Amino acid sequence: MDFRQIHYFISLYEEGTVTRAAHRLHIVQPALSMQIGRLEEHLGQKLFERTKHGMVPTDAARQMYRLFLPIMRDFSNAEAQMLSSEGEIRGHVNIGLIASITQGVLVETLGAFSRQYPGVDVSVSDGYTSVLADRVAEGRLDAAIVNKPRRPLALDVEHIIDEEMVLIVGHRFEGSLAPSMTLRQMAGIGLDLVLPTRGHGLRANIDSFFESENIELAPKFEIDSLVATIKLVEQTRMATIVPRVAVHRQLYDGSLRAHGIVSPRLVRRVVSVSNPRRPLSPATKLFISMLAANLRLRAPGAATETPEAAD
């Protein structure tokens, strides 16, 4: 087994077909097939089943991918750091983001980052906090920006920001709402709420505040898609609770209205998680720093220091 075979294997595993993998690697298809065949012979195990839909990985291939992907990422990061030592930042950033961050500041961050660091490629995955944290632990992601997990993690955790969560309504909403209200006042209005499902990190955060006030939370709809939730609120009389940064564009153009929630003030802590055994590359550190700066810029009044009572 050599470095090239592992590189070819990972490309075929991720692309799913010999055609796409060969194109990604800039080689001819027979050369790729020959190296995969030699790798299977060396391991004494079949790695792929050929079907009409492409190359389907076997259990052995899935195990090999889990084992070797972190090693290959470490190699690529080490190479990028050595090349970056010449002055230009290079490499690949592979990061995970919760949906509200993706919705709120990703586009602006990617645009600015690519202009400032053209030698860096960026891959972004979105998902639940628990899933992204697991991918960081497995080495499938360099880092992730997530809600602070309630359970202790064997990961490095760095505080990014404490975001205000607000009540959001559209122009079709009927009734008068105060600019800000207590959680109990809000609950007493009888709003038709649309919130994420209970498996979602944002919902867990919201539930904890309601439970602390002994208020029963009964949303009319439960939807994990932030995009769908925002559109639903824009087009109906429903309301939702989201971090302000997730809807800052709609608040700016006036298609949504935000109402503050006080006593208690609803906040969620956003953190960066990374694997302590795999130091972050300069490119990844720069991307996280730029993303965090954009979050703080679009969250006026948000705490950037760790408050004692936030846990």
**Pair 152, 285 in one domain:** yes
Do 68 and 107 have their domain in common? no
Q: Is residue 185 domain-shared with residue 170, that is, in the same domain?
A: yes
C-beta of residue 70 within 8 angstroms of C-beta of residue 139: yes
- Between CA 187 and CA 60 the distance in angstroms is 53
Residue range 226-247: mean pLDDT, rounded? 92
Of 259, 148, 98, 104, give the one whose Cα is nearest residue 193. Answer: 259
Q: What is the pLDDT of residues 12-62, one digit of tens each?
A: 988 889 999 898 888 999 999 998 998 998 999 999 998 888 889 999 998
Q: Are residues 254 and 201 in the same domain?
A: yes
Phi-psi region of 263 (alpha: psi -120 to 50; beta: other; left: phi over 0): left
Determine contact, residues 196/291, Cβ cutoff 8 Å: no
Percentage with pLDDT > 70 across the chain: 92
Torsion, Cα 60 63 64 66, to 10 degrees, reads 160
> What value does the mean pLDDT of the chain take?
86
Q: Is the pLDDT of residue 264 over 90?
A: no
pLDDT at 252 (0 to 100): 87
**Statement to judge: residues 30 and 110 lie in one domain:** no
Q: What is the pLDDT of residue 59?
A: 92
In a domain, 303, yes or no: no
Domain span at residue 152 reads 86-160+269-298
Q: Are residues 191 and 210 in the same domain?
A: yes
pLDDT at 242: 92
204 within domain boundaries: yes
Q: What pLDDT does residue 109 have? A: 93
pLDDT for residue 169: 94
Considering the domain architecture, whether residues 25 and 73 belong to the same structural domain is answered as yes
User: How high is the pLDDT of residue 174?
Assistant: 78
**Position 129 pLDDT exceeds 70:** yes
The answer to whether residues 64 and 93 belong to one domain is no
pTM of the predicted model as reported, rounded to 2 decimal places: 0.70
Task: Tell me what percent of the chain is helix, strand and coil, each rounded to the nearest 5.
Answer: 45, 25, 30
Residue 309 lies in a domain: no
pLDDT mean over 164-170: 92
* One domain, residues 168 and 263: yes
Q: Is the pLDDT of residue 301 over 60?
A: no
- Indicate whether 46 and 92 sit together in one domain: no
Give Cα separations from 213 to 181, 198, 209, 285, 286 (angstroms): 14, 18, 7, 39, 40
The confidence score (pLDDT) of residue 308 equals 33
Tell me, what CATH number does 248's domain have? 3.40.190.290
The band of 302, judged by pLDDT with boundaries at 50, 70 and 90, is very low
Work out the pLDDT band at 305, boundaries 50, 70, 90. very low
Pick the range with the lowest mean pLDDT from 64-73, 96-105, 128-137, 204-213: 64-73
pLDDT at 69: 80
Output the domain CATH number for residue 139: 3.40.190.10
Q: What is the pLDDT of residue 90?
A: 81
With a cut of 90, say whether residue 287 has pLDDT above it.
yes
Q: Higher pLDDT residue, 104 or 30?
A: 30
Q: Is residue 176 part of a domain?
A: yes
- Quote the number of domains for the chain: 3
Task: Please give the average per-residue pLDDT across 68-82, as a whole number.
Answer: 73
Nearest-CA neighbor of 273 among 106, 78, 95, 126? 95
What's 97's DSSP letter?
E
Q: How sure is the predictor about 87, in pLDDT bands with cuts at 50, 70 and 90? A: low
Asked if residue 98 belongs to a domain, the reply is yes
Residues 28 and 38 in one domain: yes
pLDDT > 50? residue 310? no
> pLDDT over 90 for what percent of the chain?
32
Q: For residues 97 and 182, state if they share a domain.
A: no
User: What single letter denotes the amino acid at residue 152?
Assistant: P
By C-alpha distance, which of 271, 273, 272, 286 is closest to 93?
286
Assigned domain for 189 exists: yes
Q: What is the pLDDT of residue 84?
A: 59
Spatial separation of the C-alpha atoms in residues 290 and 46, rounded to whole Å: 44
Provide the pLDDT confidence category of residue 245 given band limits of 50, 70 and 90.
confident
Residue range 184-204, pLDDT digits in tens:
888 888 889 999 998 788 888
Pairing of strands 194-195, 180-182: unpaired
